Structure 1
């Protein structure tokens, strides 16, 4: 998949002839190379944070780029300069396999720190996967106005971590669940399943397939598959039927 990067129009450094007074244009002893070109913006201006924006959707990318372009604190980079940016900003709907691959590639670039602007995390596992891939800060796309984007970028450049409080709680809950299952994979309680997981397993027990569960719960088919896969993996079961039987025997649904 091609991940578009920030596109920055070239700035002309040509000095209009009108900037040199007619009376001195022919007699000036100043060589042309020393005429100041104030219209050219030097790259890497001191005090500015260099940023590259990555997004699979050109509309998402343009929106974030336009927000950041207006801020004097930001120096947008693309092309050959992309890997040298201080901050890499990844903008996605969800952290799918392709997004994870990009995050992992950026993690191995010691010159950049990575921030994530995301639509939603479909599970605690997706959030942990993003953190494990080197994401230093997270911002929800719905909250990504110009001021929040700027604060996110500056925090990342300063070596800080940013994670909304509810996502931090979700991450801690997920990690705690993994720790419990590691210590005793079969120590099941009512808190083992979330309300969404329990509902989907109940629907599976009623004979509904993925598409029918998606329609009934108003989730996408991908979300249904991911939720059920996470339950099966976490409880170390073989398939959906095994998961339903296990949940019924332990009073989880």
Structure 2
């Protein structure tokens, strides 16, 4: 899946409403950042509490200078903090990707699939940190790494990304090639439940996943294997002995 390109300015997260970008600002009189001094940072968050939390963690660090709204487009580092990568987040990341002045880091609650992780990378994200691990030291290391042109990705997410890309490559070379690794255990379980006549809500209750996750997983199977719908996916999996 590629990054969403809207033919209009992408929405940005802010502290009061998702439509208005509200980066954190330093107190008046703060000297501008310079080479070897402070890294200029703009923060975009999906809700005000999350925004305040990120700013609070880093505001007292001498290496960091938060920019105000007017200077957000010139920030060396843009930190985007969200629960997950949805279309609105992708639109913001896309806009930031096309700003040559900034590099983008993502503080995220969860990636519900390898496809979502790949989408974030394609949208220009160079570093990722989980929200549960976003303490002051890790946030600082993330910002400094981004400013130095480095990429940061937790080991398990890197493995997930490589596995996802490998599946896509195999599918691209031979869309109908089948192997035991074509479906993950979770995907096979959900397709098996579909074959038993369960709907999205029932599958969510059975598997303890959210309905959104169930929909995303089934959609990824259908997309990856170039199928038409859930029924087609179940028939395909049954014919090839995958469930």
Matched with 1:172 is: 162
Provide closer, same or farther for how the CA distance between residues 81 and 130 of structure 1 changes in structure 2, counting only shifts above 3 A: same
**C-alpha RMSD of matched pairs (Å):** 1.2
Count how many residue pairs are aligned between Structure 1 and Structure 2.
225
Query: Is 1:73 equivalent to 2:63 in the alignment?
Result: yes
Matched with 2:51 is: 61
Which secondary structure does the structure 2 equivalent of 1:137 belong to? strand
Matched with 2:143 is: 153
| Alignment gaps of 5+ in structure 2 | 1-10, 15-21
Provide closer, same or farther for how the CA distance between residues 157 and 69 of structure 1 changes in structure 2, counting only shifts above 3 A: same
Matched with 1:41 is: 30
Task: Give 2:89's match in structure 1, choosing from 89, 99, 114.
Answer: 99
> In structure 1, how many angstroms separate the alpha carbons of the residues matched to 2:59 and 2:188?
46
Q: Which has the larger radius of gyration?
A: 1
Task: Give 2:76's match in structure 1, choosing from 64, 68, 86.
Answer: 86
TM-score with structure 1 setting the length = 0.86
Matched with 2:13 is: 3
> In structure 2, how many angstroms separate the alpha carbons of the residues matched to 1:122 and 1:205?
23
Given that residues 54 and 90 in structure 1 are in contact (C-alpha distance below 8 angstroms), is that contact kept between their aligned partners in structure 2? Answer: yes
> In structure 2, how many angstroms separate the alpha carbons of the residues matched to 1:204 and 1:189?
21
Task: Give 1:199's match in structure 2, choosing from 185, 189, 201.
Answer: 189
Given that residues 6 and 65 in structure 1 are in contact (C-alpha distance below 8 angstroms), is that contact kept between their aligned partners in structure 2? Answer: no
Given that residues 210 and 224 in structure 1 are in contact (C-alpha distance below 8 angstroms), is that contact kept between their aligned partners in structure 2? Answer: yes
| 1:58-106 deviations in Å (ceiling 9; x for gaps) | 1111101100102110000121100000000000111111100000000
> In structure 2, how many angstroms separate the alpha carbons of the residues matched to 1:168 and 1:192?
19
TM-score with structure 2 setting the length = 0.90
- Which runs of structure 1 show a deviation greater than 6 angstroms over 4 or more consecutive aligned residues? none
